[in-house]
Structure 1
Amino acid sequence: MPTFGVQGLDVSGHQPSVDWQQQWNMGARFAYVKASEGNYFTNDYFNSQYQGSRNVGMIRGAYHFAVPNWSSGADQARFFVQNGGGWSADGYTMPPVLDFEFNPYEGRTINGFYFGNTCYNMSPGQLQSWVMDFGNTMLSLTGRLPVIYTNTSWWNQCLTNPSGFGDYPLWIAAYPSSATNNAGPVPTASWSSYSIWQYSSTGPFAGDSNVWDGDYASLQRFARAGSGVDEAFSREYQASSTWLGNAWGPIACGLVNNGCYQIYQGGSIQWSPASGAHSVRDGAIRGTYQRTGSENGPLGYPVVGPEICGLKGGGCYQMFQGGAIIWTGTGIQISPAGPIRDRYAAMGFENGVLGYPTSGQVCGYVASGCVQTFQGGDIYWSPSSGAYAVTAGAIRASFQRLGSENGQTGYPVSNEVCGLKNGGCYQFFQGGSMIWSSTTGAHFSPFGSIRYVWATQNFENGWLGYPYTDEYCSSSGECRQDFQGGSLIWTPTTGVNVYRR
């Protein structure tokens, strides 16, 4: 038994009756229980072993024995989760384990299936891809990458010691021939050390005997959030310590999406498996973040930290999973992730014509639309139109005069485009287009017969030129629009009549 760390054990169906209180009295504080193998086997004793270890106070978890040439990594991950391989940040559930080792059925054919050689008749690249497929599926299903259980010689032989697996905690199997505190070498391309060492298959504990490489507090944190969370908090603190100051408490976990946080004099650090660890400085941005519900609200966890300043006009911002909080000396607003923010980005954020947001994103408009107002205009979005800006100026003024999205224009379906004849501009809307020139102003050309005839005359480039009125209709049903070169008049009986000036 190594003289360091925290002792534990792992069991399977080969240990149908475990005296868990005895194991606890011997010093075991954590346990892993085999849940499944391939996609064809589950441990009949899993529930009693899993609950029995927990009943005496152990932190416990589940492991899956992989048979990679049987089915895909994703398939076996789903089978594992369906049969006990889940995880929650309750503080007493260890992360799930992928038992990936030599083929115990080497050279055998069972029920017509040939299990292959010790590497399952798979190439190193195929085995590496299989592990990634399993791991990514487990992450999506549980919020945790699995621990990889293996032994160095088999991993190096069959997977050729690849890099890229360092985010997976390592459980190494190595049985020294004499008492030692040294597990021997680990697969060095991905790991510099192990998290758990299985040092014996013959005692002192039931099943296999293991040791956690750390103290009990770190084992608890590992159960809640993973072995890398302390390192992630440490790195972020080192980058932000000058303003964070001293911690006001320990790292606390159990937040939404398996997150953790720590409070400091000058702010906080928040972490989740998907976002990493990032700091949020006390001030206007953090205040707004807290008012929206922090990580429980629409912004989720920070994805950069702390806030970044030095924007145009002295502005600052911080990015979160659900968008950005943007601050200027005149106010603070949220720019939620989604099509309106995407349009804002395409137009250069605060450096573009729109400048900074002056309102939040407001939804519930006609046809399920949303709007956000900026210094230089508005961005409108609806499911049928997409997101487009109506920038400050004559076209926007006419759009608003006609009732904005509630009027005959509907929502914009393009941004404003300039460079027409004599410096004119236009913008398309669901109901037609708004046309502007310096001599005529901005007027709406709705889809219909009058616009069709204007189009046949080459729009503003033809003899009619730009419109200098909107299309307007009388109570008798006659409609008319006046242009620089004449008028187009429509009646139900005659259609469109053309009049030159």
Structure 2
Amino acid sequence: MQNRNPNSRFGIDINEYTQDVNFTTLARTIDFLYLRASGSATGRFRVDRKFLEFARQARNFGIPVGAYHYGVPSYDLNTADSQCDDFINILQEGFGARNYGDLFPVLDIETPIEPKMNTDTLINWVLRFKERFERRTRRRLMLYTGVFFVELYNNFTTSKGTQPLKTMPLWIAMYTAIPSNPPFPPDVGGWTRWRIWQYSESATVAGVSNPVDANWGPDNIDYLRQPRQVSGLNAFISGDTLIVYWDKNPDVDLLGYNIFQNGSWIGTVTEKDTSFRINVSQLPAPVNNRRIISIEAFDYDGETSPVRSSVQL
């Protein structure tokens, strides 16, 4: 995988054991923040005691923030469903209804180690969690894991020789303080690039009083968050043509825009477009003589704007 570079964003991840957290200082110190929302290490779902407070404070101070769940895979795949649903619920409690954080929501997988479980089962459990989460939230799920753990589980390769987890955005842990480690993470599990690299578990960072996990992120925070809500939306009918136009989104990883009428998709355009035209005869019939035109941006990860902008004709 790649090494960090001078433009790599810097972030930390914290939990209820992080001491003397000063968000005024952190707002000047870090580019992004991850919080432990929950975990199932005790055999039951447990919310981090500081999550709700930290989520509120991060938002108040304008720090881009996301959250993770410490998952515990099981041979019972139903536990993926229950842990997923509980994670979705606590995210909304922390960030608001249908809001799952500014950054990618994260599933943290670093157990079991001893005794191990079957690699296929581990991967199937993660996929079950991922697919359920993404279907219910319309958000992409990031995977946190360690180089050691991937290698322990057959390089995350199934018995069929596939590596299905490699499509997930990756937050990889590999600590540079360990002498036997290479200078930056190697290719593992089918991944050739990380989105976040946790390079230390004992960094000294202004804004907290005890050592914390430290991370290098991408060159731009846009690569960790949803596209912005589209601004400047206008629409009108001229003759037999619906004309829609808007302001260009500034997201660096923008791929395009989806346009809707009364919630039904009517077209997709590229990131270079700021207008859309369609013959009225191709549109669904208006509802109660109303046409509500809405738009969302989408990026290369398939993430969409948190809110669709809309205008009524």
User: Take 2:222 and 2:184, find their aligned partners in 1: how far apart are those partners?
Assistant: 22
User: Take 1:199 and 1:301, find their aligned partners in 2: how far apart are those partners?
Assistant: 32
1:187 equivalenced with 2:188 (yes/no)? yes
Structure 2 counterpart of 1:173, which letter? A
Name the structure 1 match of 2:269: 279
1:78 equivalenced with 2:85 (yes/no)? yes
Structure 2 counterpart of 1:31, which letter? L
User: Take 2:72 and 2:198, find their aligned partners in 1: how far apart are those partners?
Assistant: 21
CA contact (8 A) 2:45 2:83 kept: no
- 1:202 counterpart SS class: strand
1:9 equivalenced with 2:6 (yes/no)? no
Q: Per-residue deviation at 1:289?
A: 4.9
Name the structure 2 match of 1:29: 31
Name the structure 2 match of 1:141: 136
Q: Percent identity?
A: 20
Structure 1 counterpart of 2:188, which letter? P
CA contact (8 A) 2:166 2:189 kept: no
After superposition, residues 217-296 of structure 1 pair within 5 angstroms as 219-220=221-222, 222-225=224-227, 249-250=248-249, 269-270=257-258, 278-279=268-269, 282-285=276-279, 288-289=282-283, 292-295=291-294
User: Take 1:172 and 1:271, find their aligned partners in 2: how far apart are those partners?
Assistant: 36
User: Take 2:282 and 2:183, find their aligned partners in 1: how far apart are those partners?
Assistant: 51
Q: Give the TM-score, by structure 2 length.
A: 0.65
- 2:249 counterpart SS class: coil
1:94 equivalenced with 2:89 (yes/no)? no
After superposition, residues 194-213 of structure 1 pair within 5 angstroms as 194-205=194-205, 206=208, 207-213=212-218
- 2:10 counterpart SS class: strand
Q: Per-residue deviation at 1:188?
A: 4.5
Structure 1 residues 159 and 61: CA distance shift in structure 2, 3 A = farther
Q: Per-residue deviation at 1:193?
A: 0.3
Name the structure 2 match of 1:52: 57
User: Take 2:280 and 2:171, find their aligned partners in 1: how far apart are those partners?
Assistant: 39
Name the structure 2 match of 1:214: 219
Q: Per-residue deviation at 1:61?
A: 1.1
Structure 2 residue aligned with 1:67, among 49, 68, 72?
72
Name the structure 1 match of 2:231: none
- 2:140 counterpart SS class: coil
- 2:156 counterpart SS class: coil
User: Take 1:85 and 1:173, find their aligned partners in 2: how far apart are those partners?
Assistant: 27
Structure 2 counterpart of 1:184, which letter? P
Q: What 5-or-longer segments of structure 1 have no aligned partner? A: 107-116, 227-246, 254-259, 263-268, 303-501
Can you list the C-alpha shifts for 1:320-372, whole angstroms capped at 9, x where unaligned?
xxxxxxxxxxxxxxxxxxxxxxxxxxxxxxxxxxxxxxxxxxxxxxxxxxxxx
After superposition, residues 77-476 of structure 1 pair within 5 angstroms as 77-84=84-91, 93-103=102-112, 117=114, 119=116, 122-158=117-153, 160-162=155-157, 163-177=163-177, 183-189=184-190, 191-205=191-205, 206=208, 207-215=212-220, 219-220=221-222, 222-225=224-227, 249-250=248-249, 269-270=257-258, 278-279=268-269, 282-285=276-279, 288-289=282-283, 292-295=291-294
- 2:122 counterpart SS class: helix
Q: Per-residue deviation at 1:25?
A: 2.4
User: Take 1:22 and 1:166, find their aligned partners in 2: how far apart are those partners?
Assistant: 36
Q: What 5-or-longer segments of structure 2 have no aligned partner? A: 158-162, 229-245, 299-313
- 1:17 counterpart SS class: coil
Name the structure 1 match of 2:238: none
Q: Per-residue deviation at 1:16?
A: 4.6
Structure 2 counterpart of 1:279, which letter? V
Structure 1 residues 132 and 90: CA distance shift in structure 2, 3 A = closer
Can you list the C-alpha shifts for 1:395-453, whole angstroms capped at 9, x where unaligned?
xxxxxxxxxxxxxxxxxxxxxxxxxxxxxxxxxxxxxxxxxxxxxxxxxxxxxxxxxxx
Q: Which structure would you say has the larger RCO, counting Cα contacts within 8 Å and 6 or more residues apart?
A: 2
User: Take 2:82 and 2:135, find their aligned partners in 1: how far apart are those partners?
Assistant: 13
CA contact (8 A) 1:98 1:149 kept: yes
Q: Per-residue deviation at 1:134?
A: 0.6
CA contact (8 A) 2:14 2:35 kept: yes
User: Take 2:153 and 2:92, find their aligned partners in 1: how far apart are those partners?
Assistant: 25
Q: Per-residue deviation at 1:157?
A: 1.8
Structure 1 residues 301 and 30: CA distance shift in structure 2, 3 A = closer
Q: Per-residue deviation at 1:194?
A: 0.7
User: Take 1:96 and 1:271, find their aligned partners in 2: how far apart are those partners?
Assistant: 26
Q: Per-residue deviation at 1:248?
A: 6.4
Aligned length: 245
Q: Per-residue deviation at 1:252?
A: 6.6
CA contact (8 A) 1:58 1:92 kept: no
CA contact (8 A) 1:91 1:224 kept: no
Structure 2 counterpart of 1:146, which letter? L
Can you list the C-alpha shifts for 1:93-126, whole angstroms capped at 9, x where unaligned?
11211001144xx6xxxxxxxxxx253xx20000
Structure 1 residues 150 and 92: CA distance shift in structure 2, 3 A = closer
User: Take 2:127 and 2:250, find their aligned partners in 1: how far apart are those partners?
Assistant: 29
User: Take 1:19 and 1:64, find their aligned partners in 2: how far apart are those partners?
Assistant: 23
Structure 2 counterpart of 1:150, which letter? T
CA contact (8 A) 2:104 2:142 kept: yes
Can you list the C-alpha shifts for 1:57-110, whole angstroms capped at 9, x where unaligned?
10111110011128621111111112226878979611211001144xx6xxxx
CA contact (8 A) 2:92 2:100 kept: no
Structure 1 residues 271 and 44: CA distance shift in structure 2, 3 A = farther
Structure 1 counterpart of 2:59, which letter? R
